[in-house]
């Protein structure tokens, strides 16, 4: 690949909110993006993976108050925990920042100023519910009352869970603030709106760009058809966030500065790296690629507001949104009351993160479908595929090489057809990774593992070993097995980086790169095989699912 066509990629994952722990639902998205990035890097592509904590908003302000600490203390604590969780799950960000940062403050103000100058920001008086006791304007989720249509009680301020009606919080009957328990009053204030309708035409190009999954393009088309509305980007004090320039008591709404946090995080990375230029990635018509990995719940922010804001501030558009579905646990929504709310930390208390990364990979496709984490299937799949098929190849072959051949691989290729097939699979597996069709990649890898086990079974080295004149043949056969194992390890490396590293040590080889699929290993001394992965015990799952855990 020559200089002019070399890919340069920036990947982001959705920013986790800094008021709670990372859970398995979060992890699905981060691990999906991490695998994709790891694959790019293995191929030698320039690829940066960034993220940050989403640290602003009313919820964080209230949570800090509740804990008797400052918001700054809260978000610092949470960020440390988030980063620890990600690291232990082998999610390797090139930069993990916070939206409550100097970079983000400057960029948010710049986005605002540029959009203001271009005529995309408008001010308007609106009337909202106000909690006099707490001196706060109330977001929909902080108001409960009776549905104006079906009269159901205890409904939140945006829609009715009983009859499905949508309405504005001011229409609720007998509204109550969930913060103070007092009825709110109506209060008028001036708010700033981002004038989304002006981007109608530009966004229709975005829709037709082909860089959105079909399901997502449909969804956007729907919002489009019902008419774009101006977006309220300001919030009244008290609020935890950035003050809007020119106003004493107004702050940017958290969802304005959250996606800008992508740029802030990248800016920080650029400051640390002399080879990186911020503008090269973000200026209009940049030749670089930018991908946002997000969940389907935040498509509106990334599919409508975000491209419009970028355009209004004279930045380029993302190359694509890669949207994933929600996770369910044993077919049920993840929820605390159902006992299916599993945090990253509680998982780590009982299970190896490699299991989860593998299971996610084994079932992830480029589609937006929800993902069911079925623990029976999880156990069967991990044990059968990873331990029974893949690791087993090393285990059964290394025994002979270690014990009878002084750890030395044979100089001969006794099964050129099998190994050629394993090498050729590189093309198709790479294509699957590239398209985020990880499940297809895993299917192909495991099919190769099956064929390798079949080969060993046909050759029966354990029988040949008893015939004194066939020893060299045994060395040949096991060398084939370990060569296959090396290739399979390379193909699994984006998914299982830590295991791959341990295996590189076992095989006594340099860190595997994708181009290493073109080579084989002969006449080479390996190290003593040691068990690399334990099978999952059903008891571990029981402990994890135990509500007390």
**Which residues 29-68 are close enough to bind RNA by CB under 7 A?**
54, 56-59
To the nearest whole angstrom, how small is the minimum distance from the Cβ of residue 523 to RNA? 22
**Token couple for 113:** 């100023």
In angstroms, what is the minimal distance from the CB of 548 to RNA? 26
Run of H or E residues at 238 = none
SS3 at position 314: coil
Q: What is the C-alpha to C-alpha distance for residues 135 and 162, in angstroms, rounded to an integer?
A: 31
Q: Which is nearer to RNA, 9 or 60 (CB)?
A: 60
CA dihedral 283, 287, 293, 299 (to 10 degrees): 60
> Contact with RNA (CB under 7 A): which of 8, 81, 314, 372?
372
- CB nearer to RNA: pick between 46 and 170: 170
| Nearest-approach distance from CB 366 to RNA, in angstroms | 9
Q: Which is nearer to RNA, 2 or 166 (CB)?
A: 166
Among 33, 42, 51, 254, binds RNA (CB under 7 A): 254
Q: Which of residues 519-548 bind RNA (CB under 7 A)?
A: 531-535
Q: Which of 118, 140, 115 is nearest to 129 (CA)?
A: 140
Q: How far is the CB of 112 from RNA (least distance, A)?
A: 16
Per-residue contact string for residues 409-438; x = within reach of RNA by CB under 7 A: ------------------------------
308: how many CB neighbours lie within 10 A of its CB? 25
Nearest to 255, CA basis, from 79, 99, 82: 99
Q: What is the DSSP string of 9-72?
A: EEEEEPPPBTTS--BHHHHHHHHHHHHHHHHHHHTT-EEEEEEEEB--SHHHHHHHHHHTS-HH
508: left (phi over 0), alpha (psi -120 to 50) or beta: left
Q: Which stretch binds RNA (CB under 7 A): 72-80, 160-168, 265-273, 340-348?
A: 160-168
Alpha helix (H) residue ranges in 89-211: 102-117, 200-208
Nearer to RNA among residue 47 and residue 362 (C-beta):
362
| Subset of 437-496 contacting RNA (CB under 7 A) | 439-440, 443, 446, 450, 453-454, 456-457, 460-463
Among 101, 155, 191, 484, binds RNA (CB under 7 A): 191
Cα distance between residue 434 and residue 441, in whole Å: 10
Beta bridge partners of 371: 327
Binders in 100-159 for RNA, by CB under 7 A: 126, 128, 137-141, 156-159
Binding-site residue total for RNA (CB under 7 A)?
94
Nearer to RNA, 22 or 169 (CB): 169
The CA distance from 257 to 235, in Å, is: 12
Q: Is 5 in the site for RNA (CB under 7 A)?
A: no
Residue 400 interacts with RNA (CB under 7 A): yes or no: yes
Smallest separation (angstroms) from RNA to the CB of 165: 6
Contact pick of 370, 470, 502, 504 for RNA (by CB under 7 A): 370
Least distance between RNA and beta carbon 2 (Å): 32
Helices 497-507, 471-492: axis angle to 10 degrees equals 150
Which residue in 391, 487, 490, 526 binds RNA (CB under 7 A)?
Answer: 391
Provide, rounded to whole angstroms, the least separation between the CB of residue 519 and RNA.
25
Closest CB to RNA among residues 287, 335: 335
CA-based angle 103:283:265, to the nearest 5?
25
268 sits near RNA (criterion: CB under 7 A)? no
How near is the Cβ of 99 to RNA at its closest, in Å? 8
Q: Where are the alpha helices (DSSP H) in 278-415?
A: 278-282, 299-300, 306-312, 344-350, 353-363, 375-381, 392-404
Q: How far is the CB of 511 from RNA (least distance, A)?
A: 21
Return the axis-axis angle of helices 353-363 and 438-459, rounded to nearest 10°: 110
Q: Which is nearer to RNA, 318 or 461 (CB)?
A: 461
Mark 124-153 as b/e (b = at least 16 C-beta within 10 Å): eeeebbbbeebebbbbeebbbbbbebeeee
Residue from 369, 444, 502, 504 binding RNA (CB under 7 A): 369
Sign of the alpha-carbon dihedral angle for 513, 519, 524, 526: positive
Contact positions with RNA (CB under 7 A) in 207-236: 214-215, 218-219, 222-223, 226-229, 231-232
Q: Which of 497, 382, 389 is nearest to 445 (CA)?
A: 389
398 or 490: CB nearest RNA: 398
Question: 197: how many CB neighbours lie within 10 A of its CB?
Answer: 12
- Could you tell me the smallest distance in angstroms from the CB atom of residue 334 to RNA? 9
Cβ-based burial of 237 (10 A; exposed 0-12, middle 13-18, buried ≥19)? middle
The interface mask with RNA, positions 313-332, x = CB under 7 A, is ------------xx-x--x-
Instruction: State which residue, 71 or 157, has the beta carbon closest to RNA.
Output: 157
> In the complex, what is the shortest distance from the CB of residue 227 to RNA, in angstroms, rounded to a whole number?
6
Interface with RNA (CB under 7 A), residue from 368, 419, 432, 492: 368
Interface with RNA (CB under 7 A), residue from 365, 408, 412, 498:
365
Cβ of residue 146: shortest distance to RNA, in angstroms? 17
Residue list 331-360, contact with RNA (CB under 7 A): 331, 333
Paired tokens of 17: 């909110």
Using the minimum distance from each CB to RNA, give the nearer residue, 47 or 342: 342
CB atoms within 10 A of CB 476: 22
Element of type H or E holding 237: none
In the list 92, 367, 473, 524, the residue contacting RNA (rule: CB under 7 A) is 367
């Amino acid at each position: 690949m020559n200089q002019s066509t070399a890919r340069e990629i920036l990947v982001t994952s959705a920013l986790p909110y800094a008021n709670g722990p990372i859970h398995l639902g979060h992890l699905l998205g981060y691990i999906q993006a991490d695998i994709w990035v790891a694959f790019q890097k293995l191929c030698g592509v320039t690829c940066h993976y960034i993220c940050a904590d989403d640290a602003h908003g009313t919820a964080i302000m209230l949570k800090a108050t509740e804990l008797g600490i400052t918001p700054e203390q809260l978000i610092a604590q949470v960020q440390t925990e988030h980063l620890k969780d990600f690291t232990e799950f082998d999610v390797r960000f090139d930069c993990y920042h916070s939206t409550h940062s100097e970079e983000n403050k400057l960029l948010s103000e710049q986005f605002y100023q540029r959009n203001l100058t271009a005529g995309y920001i408008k001010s308007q008086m609106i009337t909202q519910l106000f909690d006099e006791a707490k001196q706060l304007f109330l977001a929909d989720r902080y108001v409960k009352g009776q549905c104006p249509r079906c009269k159901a009680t205890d409904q939140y301020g945006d829609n009715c869970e009983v009859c499905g009606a949508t309405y504005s919080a001011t229409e609720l009957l007998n509204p109550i603030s969930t913060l103070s328990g007092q009825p709110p009053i109506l209060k008028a204030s001036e708010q700033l709106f981002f004038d989304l309708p002006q981007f109608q035409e530009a966004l229709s190009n975005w829709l037709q760009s082909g860089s959105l999954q079909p399901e997502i393009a449909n969804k956007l088309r729907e919002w489009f058809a019902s008419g774009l509305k101006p977006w309220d980007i300001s919030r009244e004090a008290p609020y935890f966030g950035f003050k809007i320039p020119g106003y004493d008591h107004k702050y940017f709404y958290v969802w304005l500065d959250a996606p800008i946090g992508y740029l802030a995080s990248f800016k920080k990375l650029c400051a640390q790296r002399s080879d990186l230029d911020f503008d090269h990635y973000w200026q209009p018509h940049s030749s670089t690629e930018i991908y946002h990995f997000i969940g389907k719940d935040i498509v509106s922010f990334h599919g409508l507001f975000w491209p419009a804001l970028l355009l209004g501030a004279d930045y380029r558009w993302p190359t694509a949104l890669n949207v994933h579905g929600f996770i369910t646990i044993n077919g049920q929504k993840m929820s605390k009351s159902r006992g299916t709310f599993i945090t990253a930390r509680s998982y780590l208390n009982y299970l190896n993160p490699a299991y989860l990364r593998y299971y996610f990979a084994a079932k992830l496709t480029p589609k937006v479908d929800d993902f069911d984490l079925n623990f029976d299937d999880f156990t069967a799949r991990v044990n059968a595929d990873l331990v029974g098929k893949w690791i087993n190849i090393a285990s059964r072959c290394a025994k002979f090489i270690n014990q009878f051949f002084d750890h030395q691989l044979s100089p001969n290729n006794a099964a050129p057809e099998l190994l050629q097939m394993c090498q050729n699979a590189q093309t198709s597996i790479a294509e699957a990774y590239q398209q985020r069709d990880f499940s297809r990649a895993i299917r192909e890898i495991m099919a190769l593992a099956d064929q390798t086990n079949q080969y060993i079974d046909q050759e029966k080295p354990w029988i040949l070993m008893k015939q004194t004149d066939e020893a060299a043949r045994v060395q040949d056969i096991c060398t084939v097995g370990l060569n296959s194992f090396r290739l399979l390890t390379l193909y699994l490396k984006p998914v299982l980086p830590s295991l791959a590293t341990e295996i590189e040590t076992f095989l006594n080889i340099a860190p595997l790169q994708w181009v290493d699929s073109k080579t084989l290993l002969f006449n080479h001394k390996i190290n003593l095989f040691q068990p690399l992965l334990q099978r999952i015990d059903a008891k571990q799952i029981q402990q994890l699912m135990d509500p007390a855990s």
